[in-house]
Structure 1
Amino acid sequence: MEPQQEMEWNEAQKIPISVDLVVVAKKQLQFLAAVDRNRHLYDGPTLERAIYRYNACWLPLLAKHSESRIFEGPLVVPLDCEWVWHCHRLNPVRYKTDCEELYGRVLDNFGVVSTVEGIYGRQTEEIWNKMYPHEPYNADLINLLPEDMSARISRLEKYTKYDLISAAKRQSPFFYQVSRPHVNNDLFIEEAVARYKGFLYLIKRNKEKGIKRFCVPTYDIDLIWHSHQSHPVSYCKDLNEALGKILEHDDTDSDRTKGKKLDVGFSGTTKQWEVTFGTRYWKAGAMYRGNAPSPITSNPFSSSMTCKKFISSNEYPQEISLPDRKVMEVFLEFIGVKNLPEGQEGDLYVLFSKSRPDAFFDAKRRLSILSVSREKQVASFQCEPTGELLFELISSTTSKLSIRKSTKTLGSASFSMKNYLDPVSKLHVEKWLELMPSSGTMSSKPILLRVAISFTVPVPSPYTVEMTQSRPFSKNTCLFNLPVKPQHVKSWTHVTSENGTGIISLQMRDLKNAKNIGNPGKEVVGLMKSGESCTLAEFTENGWSVLENLWLLHLPNKCTDCGHLFELSGAKTVKIFPGRKLDYEPRHNGRRGNEMNFLTAVEFSTEEPYGKAVALLDLRSRLVTAKEKWMVLPGIILAFIASNTMKKEGYEGIIAMSKDLKMNGPNEENERTVLNGMGLSSNVCNEDDGIKNKPGLSSGGCGMGCGNAVESGGCGGCGAGCGGGCGGGCGSMVKSSGCGGCDGGCGGGCGAMIKSGGCGGCGGGCGGCGGGCGGSCGNKLESSGCGGCGGGCGGDLVDTKCGIDEHFNEELKYVNEAAITA
C-alpha cells in the first residue's frame, strides 16, 4: 500500500462493530448447514407453514419475552421459525419497519439461542404450549395436509406483509457459496471482518462525496454482512453511527450477464477498492462458485439401520496405505513492473510455475501484467501448500525478417508459501519482488515485479488411484519377435497411487464351489505388496459381499425416487449413481463428455440426508477419486467390478432396468437380469473371452485376442497372420476407430488406445502402429489431434488458457447476489 492507501485502510478498521462477528459468523454457518439438511424449508407447504408459525407464534412470543423476560433461561427458537426470521432480518429496513408497526420496537435476538447450538428448550417449549395449545413447538413439517396458509395468516391480528416466500427462495442458494471447509477457519473469517469494514468504508466515502454507486460484496464480506444483520439492534446502531443511516441489503438482483447491474456494480466496486486501499478486491475461496449442482433426490434420507463396526481402508488390508495431503486454492495477479532495461521492446508477460510440481499444479502458465497490457488477468488454480511459486519475466519480440517470435528471460523470482502456511499466518500477500537478472540482462536498478497472491487455508485433498490392466497372452497371439512364450493366465489389474507407487493388484476369478453351474459365482482376489493374497469380494445370492461382509454391494431394495444403480451398505450407506453427480457435476460450459463412463458414490446419513459425493469412478480412464480415506478401498473394488463386468451394453441395460425397477419394484426376474448385466451371465464376456461380434461392439473380426475392444470398428479385420485375433496388441482399445486394418496382426503396438482416432494403420505385421503416430501408439488418450495446448507436441509448452481467467469481469463473474446502492 502507498501511505495514503494505508491510512484509508486503517481508518476503515476503526469502524465500530458492537458484536463479535467472528463468533456470530461461525454460528451462522452452523445454522445454515442445519437448514440445508431440512431443504423442505426452502419452498412449498413447509415454508408456508413456517411463515404462519413465525407470524402467529414466534414474533408474539419474542415480543413478550423482550418486554419482560418470561423466564431466566434463553429463549430457544424452533428451526423453521428461525429460518423465516433470518430471511426477514436480511431486509433490515423492512424488518425494523415491520417490528415497530406491529410491536412498537425492533425485536432483537438478545437472550435467544438457536436450536442448532444443542441447548434443550424445555422452558421455551412449556411456555409455547401454554400460549399455543393447538400449534406444537416441535411440529411435523414434512407430512403436511394441503391448507391455504395465506388465508390463515391474513386472519391473524398481527402479521408482516413482507413477501417472505420470495425472500427465502433468494437466500436458499447462499449456503452453497459459503459451505466450503476453509470458510469456517478463524483466520479466513477474521480477514473477512476486516474486509467488511473496508466495504462499509467505501460506502461511507461514496456518501460523503455524493456518489451513488451499486456496491457488490464478495462472499466472505457478504457472510459477515449477514451475520451483522442477524443482530438487528446492533446493526441499526452501528450503521447509523458509521454511515448516518441503516444500510439496505438488496438481494433481489441475480442477473450476472455482462453489462448488467451486478456485473457493472462489481467492476466499479473492484476498481474503487483497489484505488482506495491498494490491494486486490478478489479473494481466493470467496468468489462466486456458479450454481449449486443438481440434487439427486428430493426426499431426505432416513434409516433405522444399525451400522456394522467401521473399518477404515488403511486397516483392511494392512498393506493399503495412502499419504494424507493438503490442497489449497490460489489466486494470482501481476500488477506492475519497474526498472526495466533501457530500450526494452516487445511484449512482456510472466511465466509462473512451482518449484515442486504436484498432482494439482505441474506446468508453466502464462499471465499478463496489468500495468503493461491494461487488461486484468487473474489466474485461479489449486496446488499443494509446498515448495515455492516461481515467476519468470519474459520479453517477446518479433523479428523484422521473420514472423517467428523470439523470447528472452529478463529475470526471475520466487515466493515461498511455507512462510505463510506453516503455520497459517496470512491468506493474502501483495508486494514488490526483486527479480534475479538473467545472463545478458543489463539494468541500472533491480527489476521489480508487483505480485498479488491470495490463498485459502489448506484442506485435506482427495485420494486418487489409477487402475492399470496387464493383458494376458492368448493362445492365438502372434509369436513373431515376442521375447516371452505365451502363457494362458488371467490378467491382473494393478492399482497405483498418483506417484506411481503400487498399492494392490486385483483379479476376478470363478468360484470353484459355485452352486449354479450355468451361472458360476465370482470372487475378487487382492494381491498385496507382501505377496499374500486375500478375497476382497465374493458374489453371493444377495449381491457382492465386500471385505469379509463389511459391505454388501447390491441392488436397491426399493427404488422409489432416486435412480441409483446399486447400494453399498454396511459400515455406511452409499448409493451408486450413473454419471457425474453433485460436486463432480461438470461445471460451467466445459465439455460434459460421455457420462456413461462415470459412476458417483454418494453417502447418505443423518448429517447428509440429501447425499454427499464421496467418490468418482472413471471407468474409461480407470481412475478412482475418493474424498475420504475410508472410501478408497471400497471404491477400488467397486470400480474393478464395474470396469470388468459393466461393458457398454451391460451398463445401459442396468440403467434401463433400474428405471424399470423404479417403476415396478424389484422381482426375481428383474433382479436376475440386472445381476447378469453386471457380468454374471454366460453370455457376457469376461476379461479373457474378449468381445464377440455383437452390434456396436464389433472389432471387425478381432476374435479373442482383441480382448476388451469396444467400438473399435476400424480395426479392420485381423488377417491371416494372426489366425484368430490381434494378439495382445489391440487389447483394450476403446473407440479407436482409425486403427487401420490389422493386416497380419496388431502386435503390441495398439496397446490401450482410447479414442485415438487418427492413429494411422496397424501395419502389415505384428509390428507397431504405422502410418500416423510412429511406432508407439501405446496408451494414447484421445490422441487424434496430438496437439495439446499451444498446438504442438513436446518441448516446454506454455498453457495460456488452463486455469487463467483472461477476461476477469466477463469470465469469472465474481459477483454476489447481495448488493446495495449507497
Structure 2
Amino acid sequence: MEPQQEMEWNEAQKIPISVDLLVVAKRQLEFLAAVDRNRHLYDGPALERAIYRYNACWLPLLAKHYESQVFEGPLVVPLDCEWVWHCHRLNPVRYKSDCEELYGRVLDNYRVVSTVDRICGRQTEEIWNKLYPDEPYNADLIYVLPEDISERISRLEKYTKYDLISAAKRQSPFFYQVSRLHMKNDRFIKEAVARYKGFLYLIKKNKENGIKRFCVPTYDIDLIWHSHQLHPVSYCKDLNETLGKVLEHDDTDSDRTKGKKLDVGFSGTTKQWEFTFGTRYWKAGAMYRGNAPSPITSNPFSYSIPCKKVVSSTEYPQEISLPDRKVMEVLLEFIEVKNLPEGQEGDLCVLFSKSQPDAFFDAKRRLSILSESKQKQVASFQCEPNGELLFELMSYSSSKLCIKKSIKTLGSASFSMKDYLDPVSKLYAEKWMELVPSSGIISSKPLLLRVAISFTVPVPAPYKLEMTLSHPFSKNTCLFNLPGRSNAKSWKHVIDENGSRIISLQMRDLKDAKNVGSPGKEVVGLMKSGETRTLAEFMENGWSVLENLWSFHLPNKSTNDGHLFELTGAKMVKIFPGRKLDYELRHDGKQGKEIEYLTAVEFSIEEPYGKAVALLDLRSRRVTAKEKWMALPGIILAFIVSSTMKKEGYEGIIAESKDLKVNGRNEENERTVLNGKGLSCNVCSEDDGITNKSGLSSGGCGSGCGNAVASGGSGSCGAGCGNIIESGGCGGGCGGGCGGGCGGGCGGGCGNIIKSGGCGSCGGGCGGGCGNIIKSGGCGGGCGGGCGGDLMDSECGIDEHFNEELKCVNEGTVAA
C-alpha cells in the first residue's frame, strides 16, 4: 500500500461494529448446515407452513418476550421459524419497517438462541404450548399436506406481507457457496471482517462524494454482512452511525451475464477497492463456485443401520500407508514490473511453478502482467502448502511463430509458502519482489515485479490412487517381494500420485468353494512386507470386505434410489453410476462418458442427502477418495468391478443401452448383479427378478445396459481438456488428463480458459504435445471465478481470468 492507501485502510478499520462478527459468522454457518439437512424448508408445503408458524406464533412470542421476559433463560427458536426469520432479517430495511408497523419496535435476537446452540428448549416449549395449543412446538414438517396457507395467514391479526417464499428460495443457494472447510477458520473469518469494514468504507465514500455505484461483495464479505444483519438492532445502530442510514441488502437480482448490473457492479467495486486500498479485491476461497451440483435424492436418508465399528483414520495400517496431505486454493496476479533493461523488446509474461514436486500442481504456467497487457488476468489453482512458488519474468516475441530465439528469461524470484502458512499468519500478500537477473541481463536498477497472492487455509487433501500393470515404479518398489514371474503378471499394483506402490491386488478362486462348477472368489492384497492378506471374499449375498467390516452388495429393491450397489458396515455408502455431487461434470462436455464412472456417496445423520466420498474412474482405474477411511474400500470396489469385467474379455467402454439413462436408473426394474464370477447388468420386467450371469452381459430380459470398463488402453484419451468460456456461466475442470499430440499425451486434469464471468475449477495442468508450434497442446490452468452472493450480495466473474498456459517442452520449444 502507498501511504495514502494505508491511511484509507486504517480509517476503514475504525468503523464501529457492536457485535462479535467472528462468533456470529461461525454460528451462522452451523445454522445454515442444519437447514441444509432439512431441505424441505427450501420450498413447498413445509416452507409455507413454516411461514405461517413464523407469523402466527414466533413473532408474537418474540414480541411478548421482548416487552417483558416471559421466563428466565433464553427463548429457543424452532428451526423452521428460525429459517424464515433468518430470511426476513436479510432484508434489513423491510424487516425494520415490518416490526415497527406490527409491533412498534425492531424485534432483536436479544435473549434468543438458535436450536443449533444445543440449549434445552423445554421452557420455550411449555410457554409455546400454552399460547398455541393447536400448533405444536416441534412440528413434523417433512410430510406436510399441501394447503392454502396464504388464506390462513391473511386471517391473522398481524402478519408481514413480505414475500418470504421468494426470499427463502433466493437464500437457499447461499450455503453451498460458503460451505467449504476453510470458511470456518478463525483466521479466514477475521480477515473477512476486516474486508467487510473496507466494503462499508467504500459505500461511505461513495455517499459522501455523491457517487451512485452498485457495490457487490465477494463471498467472505457477504458472509460477514449477513452475520451483521442477523442482529437487526446492532445493524441499524452501526450503519446509521457509519452511513447515516440503514444499508439495504437487495438480493432480488441474480443475473451474472457480462454487462448486466451485477457484472458492472463487481467490476466497479473491484476498481474502486484496488484504487482506494492498493490491494486486490479478489480472495482465494471467497469467489463464486458456480451452481450447486444436482442432488442425488429429494428424500432425506433415514440413518438406522447398525454400525459394526467406527473406522478411524489409522484403520488397517498394515494394508496401506497413506500420508496426511494438505491442499489449498491459490489466486495469483502479477500487477506491475519496474526497471526493465534498456532496449527491452517483445511482450512480457511470467512463468510460475512449484520448487518441489506437488501432487496437485506440477506444471509451469504463464500469466500476463497487468501493467503491460492492460488486461486483468488471475490464475487459480490448487497446490500443497509447502515449498516455494517460482516466478520467471520472460520476454517473448509476439509473432505467431514461436521458436527458441524468441524466448528470453530476464530474471527470477521465489515466494516461500512457509512464511505465511507455518503457522498460518496471513492469507494474503501483495509486495514488490526483486528478481535475480539472468545471465547476460544488465540493469542499472533492481528489476522489480509486483506480485499479489491469496490462499486459503490448508485443508485435508483427497487421496488419488491408481491401479496399473505396467507403471514405471519408484524406488519404493523394492519394498515388495513379488511372487514368481508368471504369477506376478496377474497382480494389479496400486500407486499414489508420486508413482509409489501402496499395495498390490489379485483376484483368486476360492479353492474350498462348495460349488465346484462356480467357484467363489476372493481379493488378496500383497503388503509391503511381502505377506498376502485376504481383503474381500464373495459370500452368498455379496462381498465381505476387510474381514466383514464392510459388505458390498446389491441395494434393497424397496429403497433403491438409482444406486447400483451398497457398501454398508461402519458407514452407509451407496454407489451411483456416473459423476455425482462434487464430481459432477460442470461444463457442457459430452455426457456419454459418464458410464465410465461410479460415485460413492455416504449417507448419515449429518449428510441425509448424501456426501460424495469417492470417485471410481473405471476406464483408467483411478480412485479419488476424499477421506482416508474410504481409500482402501474404494480401491477394492474398483478392482472387483474392473477385474470381473476384464476376466470376461470386455475391453474399453461398453456401449450404453438406449434404456440406460446417464443420471441414474431408467426405471425401477433395472437391476445389477455383482457375483463371484462377473458383472451382469440386465433390464428386466418387475416379475423377472434378478438374473445372475457370469461375465458382463449386454443382453438380458430387455436391451442391455453395461456401465463400466475394464481398463483404458495405452495411448487412449482421458476426459479431455477444458473449454473456453467467453463470459458468464460456470466452467468446470476436466479430469483424467488429455491425450493426443504426436504420441505421449499428458497427465493431470486440465482447467478451463475463462475470460470473464463464471467460475472454473482447476486441474493438475497438462503438457506433452509435439512439434515446435503448438496452438492447442496446453490446457488452461484453471480459473478463479465470480464473487459474492446476492444483489450487493451477488456473484459475478473476475474480469479476465487466467486464459492460457505456457509450458516449456524441450530446447525452448513452447506450447502456447
- Looking at structure 2, the residues matched to 278 and 756 of structure 1 have their Cα atoms a distance apart, in angstroms, of 43
Amino acid at match of 1:17: I
Instruction: Tell me how many residue pairs correspond in the alignment.
Output: 725
What SS does the aligned partner of 1:594 have?
helix
Amino acid at match of 1:451: V
The structure-2 alpha-carbon separation of the partners of 1:586 and 1:170, relative to structure 1 and needing over 3 Å to count, comes to same
What SS does the aligned partner of 2:504 have?
strand
- Residue of structure 2 aligned with 1:754, choices 713, 716, 735: 716
What SS does the aligned partner of 2:513 have?
coil
What SS does the aligned partner of 1:146 have?
coil
Equivalent residue runs for 1:273-284 within 5 Å: 273-284=273-284
Structure 1 residue 558, shift from structure 2 partner: 2.9
The structure-2 alpha-carbon separation of the partners of 1:127 and 1:80, relative to structure 1 and needing over 3 Å to count, comes to same
- Residue of structure 2 aligned with 1:818, choices 776, 791, 800: 791
Amino acid at match of 1:447: L
Amino acid at match of 1:819: M
Q: 2:617 corresponds to which residue?
A: 618
Residue 269 in 1 paired to residue 269 in 2?
A: yes
Q: 2:780 corresponds to which residue?
A: 802
> Which 10-residue stretch deviates more, 607-616 or 491-500?
491-500
Q: 2:695 corresponds to which residue?
A: 684
Structure 1 residue 86, shift from structure 2 partner: 0.2
Residue 309 in 1 paired to residue 320 in 2?
A: no
What SS does the aligned partner of 2:330 have?
strand
Q: 1:412 corresponds to which residue?
A: 412
- Looking at structure 2, the residues matched to 733 and 143 of structure 1 have their Cα atoms a distance apart, in angstroms, of 46
The structure-2 alpha-carbon separation of the partners of 1:4 and 1:104, relative to structure 1 and needing over 3 Å to count, comes to same
Per the normalisation by structure 2, the TM-score is 0.83
| Preserved contact between residue 86 and residue 230 of structure 2 (Cα < 8 Å) | yes
What SS does the aligned partner of 1:192 have?
helix
Structure 1 residue 586, shift from structure 2 partner: 1.5
Per the normalisation by structure 1, the TM-score is 0.83
What SS does the aligned partner of 2:640 have?
helix
Gaps of 5+ in 2: 472-483, 683-690, 698-702, 720-735, 747-765, 795-816
The structure-2 alpha-carbon separation of the partners of 1:403 and 1:449, relative to structure 1 and needing over 3 Å to count, comes to closer
The structure-2 alpha-carbon separation of the partners of 1:532 and 1:800, relative to structure 1 and needing over 3 Å to count, comes to closer
Q: 2:41 corresponds to which residue?
A: 41
> Which 10-residue stretch deviates more, 281-290 or 529-538?
529-538
| Preserved contact between residue 8 and residue 276 of structure 2 (Cα < 8 Å) | yes
Q: 1:257 corresponds to which residue?
A: 257
Structure 1 residue 820, shift from structure 2 partner: 7.1
Q: 1:26 corresponds to which residue?
A: 26
| Preserved contact between residue 293 and residue 583 of structure 1 (Cα < 8 Å) | yes
| Preserved contact between residue 308 and residue 550 of structure 1 (Cα < 8 Å) | yes
Gaps of 5+ in 1: 472-484, 687-694, 698-708, 711-731, 737-751, 758-778
Residue by residue over 1:67-99, the C-alpha shift from the partner in whole angstroms, topping out at 9 and shown as x without a partner, is 010111010000000000000000000000100
Amino acid at match of 1:144: V
Structure 1 residue 536, shift from structure 2 partner: 1.0
What SS does the aligned partner of 1:440 have?
coil
Flag the structure with more relative contact order, 1 or 2, with Cα contacts below 8 A and sequence separation at least 6.
Answer: 2
Q: 1:7 corresponds to which residue?
A: 7
The structure-2 alpha-carbon separation of the partners of 1:200 and 1:456, relative to structure 1 and needing over 3 Å to count, comes to same
Q: 2:770 corresponds to which residue?
A: 793
Structure 1 residue 678, shift from structure 2 partner: 7.3
Residue 663 in 1 paired to residue 647 in 2?
A: no
> Which 10-residue stretch deviates more, 143-152 or 386-395?
143-152
Equivalent residue runs for 1:235-250 within 5 Å: 235-250=235-250
| Preserved contact between residue 62 and residue 107 of structure 2 (Cα < 8 Å) | yes
What SS does the aligned partner of 1:233 have?
helix
Structure 1 residue 503, shift from structure 2 partner: 1.6
Structure 1 residue 316, shift from structure 2 partner: 2.3
What SS does the aligned partner of 1:226 have?
helix
Q: 2:217 corresponds to which residue?
A: 217
- Looking at structure 2, the residues matched to 658 and 225 of structure 1 have their Cα atoms a distance apart, in angstroms, of 37
What SS does the aligned partner of 1:498 have?
coil
Residue by residue over 1:693-740, the C-alpha shift from the partner in whole angstroms, topping out at 9 and shown as x without a partner, is xx999xxxxxxxxxxx98xxxxxxxxxxxxxxxxxxxxx875x7xxxx
Q: 1:458 corresponds to which residue?
A: 458
Q: 1:638 corresponds to which residue?
A: 637
Q: 1:519 corresponds to which residue?
A: 518
What SS does the aligned partner of 2:86 have?
helix
Residue 604 in 1 paired to residue 603 in 2?
A: yes
| Preserved contact between residue 40 and residue 142 of structure 2 (Cα < 8 Å) | yes
Q: 1:594 corresponds to which residue?
A: 593
Residue by residue over 1:670-712, the C-alpha shift from the partner in whole angstroms, topping out at 9 and shown as x without a partner, is 89899751799675279xxxxxxxx999xxxxxxxxxxx98xx
Structure 1 residue 584, shift from structure 2 partner: 0.7
Q: Highest Rg: 1 or 2? A: 1
Q: 1:143 corresponds to which residue?
A: 143
The structure-2 alpha-carbon separation of the partners of 1:799 and 1:267, relative to structure 1 and needing over 3 Å to count, comes to farther
CA RMSD for the aligned pairs? 3.3
Residue by residue over 1:390-422, the C-alpha shift from the partner in whole angstroms, topping out at 9 and shown as x without a partner, is 111111136999987611111111110100000
The structure-2 alpha-carbon separation of the partners of 1:432 and 1:250, relative to structure 1 and needing over 3 Å to count, comes to same
Amino acid at match of 2:593: N
| Preserved contact between residue 558 and residue 662 of structure 1 (Cα < 8 Å) | no
What SS does the aligned partner of 1:321 have?
coil
Residue by residue over 1:166-192, the C-alpha shift from the partner in whole angstroms, topping out at 9 and shown as x without a partner, is 000000000000000000000100000
- Looking at structure 2, the residues matched to 658 and 10 of structure 1 have their Cα atoms a distance apart, in angstroms, of 52
Residue by residue over 1:190-219, the C-alpha shift from the partner in whole angstroms, topping out at 9 and shown as x without a partner, is 000000000000000100111111110000
Amino acid at match of 2:505: L
The structure-2 alpha-carbon separation of the partners of 1:507 and 1:414, relative to structure 1 and needing over 3 Å to count, comes to same
The structure-2 alpha-carbon separation of the partners of 1:306 and 1:530, relative to structure 1 and needing over 3 Å to count, comes to same
Residue by residue over 1:443-497, the C-alpha shift from the partner in whole angstroms, topping out at 9 and shown as x without a partner, is 11101100000000000101111101369xxxxxxxxxxxxx9958871111112
Structure 1 residue 535, shift from structure 2 partner: 1.4
- Looking at structure 1, the residues matched to 673 and 695 of structure 2 have their Cα atoms a distance apart, in angstroms, of 17
The structure-2 alpha-carbon separation of the partners of 1:541 and 1:145, relative to structure 1 and needing over 3 Å to count, comes to same
Q: 2:231 corresponds to which residue?
A: 231
| Preserved contact between residue 320 and residue 503 of structure 1 (Cα < 8 Å) | yes
Structure 1 residue 804, shift from structure 2 partner: 5.2
| Preserved contact between residue 221 and residue 788 of structure 2 (Cα < 8 Å) | no
- Looking at structure 2, the residues matched to 654 and 546 of structure 1 have their Cα atoms a distance apart, in angstroms, of 32
Equivalent residue runs for 1:474-489 within 5 Å: 487=486
- Looking at structure 2, the residues matched to 401 and 317 of structure 1 have their Cα atoms a distance apart, in angstroms, of 54
Amino acid at match of 1:497: D
What SS does the aligned partner of 2:468 have?
strand
Residue by residue over 1:254-280, the C-alpha shift from the partner in whole angstroms, topping out at 9 and shown as x without a partner, is 111111111111000000000010000
- Looking at structure 2, the residues matched to 733 and 499 of structure 1 have their Cα atoms a distance apart, in angstroms, of 21
- Looking at structure 2, the residues matched to 276 and 227 of structure 1 have their Cα atoms a distance apart, in angstroms, of 25
